[in-house]
Amino acid sequence: MCSGGSAMAPRSSGPEAGRMSDVLAALVRASEKAANIARACRQEALLFQLLIEEKKEEDKNKKFVTDFKTLADVLVQEAIKHDIGQQFPDLKEYIFGEESNEFTNGLGQKICVKICETEKETAKLLSLVLDGNEEAASALASAAHQSAGELELDTGHTEIPPSMLGVWVDPIDSTFQYIKGIGDSVARGGVHSQGLQCVTVLIGAYLLHSGMPVMGVVNQPFAAQDPNTKRWTGQYFWGLSFEDVKLNSLQTTPDPLVDSTHLSAVLSSGEAPSVREQLGMACGEDIHYAAGAGYKCLCVIRGLVDVYVFSEDTTFKWDCCGPHAILCSLGGGMVDLKESLRRRREGTSDQCAELLYNAPVAGAHGVDRWANAGGLVAFRSCAHLERVLCVLSSLPC
Ligand code: 2IP
Ligand code: CA
């Protein structure tokens, strides 16, 4: 990244305290802007063409110095940073994501992609990265400068200084499905195994000192398609979990009588055979496979399945922070699978190894610093987590 703070170091806090609802509303608005950009890239003929060209391996990096997919991701990330930073300047340097905003163009110039003061300036900057494709640059800049509209969230008067927060952003999760663009996938039990429905924008805020998630948004830009106009509409879900305050946008009340003898799960198609087999036996027909880490979390959040289990180390902090906060607001959570199994085996009293967001993996390099190295379990009830740990108790950890 061209600039930024540190994901773990608390900074000296200013006197200001932000109402949690204002910070959360800013995250939701930013996710809406991001969803608009993601939809625009697929629905505007010119931008869509650029996305499709990315599919052709032989054309890659020939026509455009950078792949357009990455530029779309970065632009979404920068728009989120810009919009949240405008309202909460103290947060600006503490918004982290997967993508670096530094590009090198055909002339070897290094360019930091950012949202400028005016749409015209942003278009000029983007055209440098897009090797002079001014039409595409203008279309992208227009999407990035559109207002996301007003939003008021009533979350009471809980206050938190923005200087205590860090933010993880996944601008477009499941980029593979985003590029593939399948629009007619059929859901089973409400779960899509693939398709644009699996694409999400994920934003989560965590406490810098403890690493615990406190607020999150999962935005699904392609939730439903109008059969006549072919235009997509999205939906979003938010949650807040801070001390005793637990609020979310889901209109469900937690079920006090959780049937933990039955289990339904969603897994990655890349899940290890032994885990697929053991969970398959426990879940019977109620096992699903779906693309997108954020989308799988969303399936748990919406109660379509009880758990999302992943035993590999290829999800990252930006995939989980937002969904995790929503799950906490629902009485659930997200834990490190291997660490939880180890603690269970050793009989440690605190078995809940919640994922934390403020510390990198020791000894790791590059993006792996922010991997969920021990895998994960996302759950809405502790009874279901316990059932998963019991089913997978023989897994090496
Ligand atoms: C990916 C994306 C993938 C997921 C992977 C994430 O993020 O969500 O779909 O793999 O873990 O890191 P899977 O679909 O097998 O769960 P991105 O698309 O942002 O790289
Ligand atoms: Ca991701």
- Going by alpha carbons, the residue nearest to atom 3 of ligand 1 is 292
33 vs 63: which has the higher pLDDT: 33
Q: Ligand 1, atom 8: nearest CA belongs to which residue? A: 292
Mean pLDDT for 333-361 is 92
- pLDDT for 70 beyond 90: no
* Residue 240 confidence (pLDDT) above 90: yes
Say which residue, 391 or 65, is predicted with more confidence.
391
Determine the distance separating the centroid of ligand 2 and the alpha carbon of 314, expressed in angstroms. 9
pLDDT given at position 55: 44
Distance CA 257, CA 75 (A): 45
Compute the mean pLDDT over every residue in the chain, rounded to the nearest whole number: 87
Ligand in closest contact with the CA of 73: 1
Of the chain, the end-to-end C-alpha distance in Å amounts to 34
- What phi, psi does 17 have (nearest 5°)? -125, 135
pLDDT tens digit string along 13-25? 444 556 778 899 9
User: Per-residue pLDDT for 152 more than 70?
Assistant: yes
Span 249-282, pLDDT tens digits: 997 665 556 666 789 999 999 999 999 999 999 9
Ligand 1, atom 11, lies closest to the CA of: 315
- Is the per-residue pLDDT at 333 higher than 80? yes
What is residue 66's predicted lDDT score, i.e. its pLDDT? 52
* Amino acid letter, residue 302: R
User: Which atom in ligand 1 lies closest to the alpha carbon of residue 73?
Assistant: 19
pLDDT over 80 (residue 49): no
In terms of pLDDT, which residue wins out, 85 or 8?
85
Residue 304 Ramachandran class (φ > 0 left, ψ -120 to 50 alpha, else beta): alpha
The pLDDT confidence band at residue 65, using thresholds 50, 70 and 90, is very low
Q: Answer yes or no: is pLDDT of 73 > 70.
A: yes
Taking the CA of residue 269 as reference, the ligand 1 atom at the shortest distance is 15
Question: How far apart are the CA of 218 and the centre of ligand 1, in A?
Answer: 15
Region 106-123: mean pLDDT is 88
Confidence at 372, pLDDT banded by 50, 70, 90: very high
Model confidence band, residue 191 (pLDDT cutoffs 50, 70, 90): very high
Residue 268 · residue 372 · CB < 8 Å: no
Question: Where in the sequence numbering do the catalytic residues fall?
Answer: 73, 98, 170, 172-173, 175, 319
pLDDT at 5 over 60: no
Query: Atom 1, ligand 1: which residue's CA is nearest?
Result: 174
Query: In angstroms, what is the span from residue 318 Cα to ligand 2's centroid?
Result: 7
Q: Residue range 17-40: average pLDDT?
A: 87
Residue ranges with CB less than 5 Å from ion ligand 2: 170, 173, 319
- Cα 294 to averaged position of ligand 2 atoms, centre (Å): 7
Q: What is the mean pLDDT of residues 185-209?
A: 97
Site to substitute for ligand 1 among 73, 297, 315, 372, most atoms within 8 A of C-beta: 315
> What would the mean pLDDT of 38-43 be, rounded to a whole number?
87
Q: Give the pTM.
A: 0.91
Measuring from each residue's beta carbon to the nearest atom of ligand 1, which residues come in under 6 Å? Answer: 170, 173-175, 268-270, 291-293, 314-316, 319
Lowest mean pLDDT among 66-75, 106-115, 333-342: 66-75
Measured distance CA(54)–CA(177) in Å, rounded: 13
Cα(188)–Cα(340) distance, rounded to whole angstroms?
A: 30
What does the pLDDT read at residue 352? 80
Model pLDDT for residues 310-332, shown as the tens digit of each residue: 999 999 999 999 999 999 999 99
- Distance (Å, whole) CA 386 – CA 200: 28
Ligand nearest to the CA of 198: 1
Over range 188-211, report the average pLDDT: 97
- DSSP letter assigned to residue 150: -
Q: Ligand 1 atom 12: the closest Cα is on which residue? A: 315
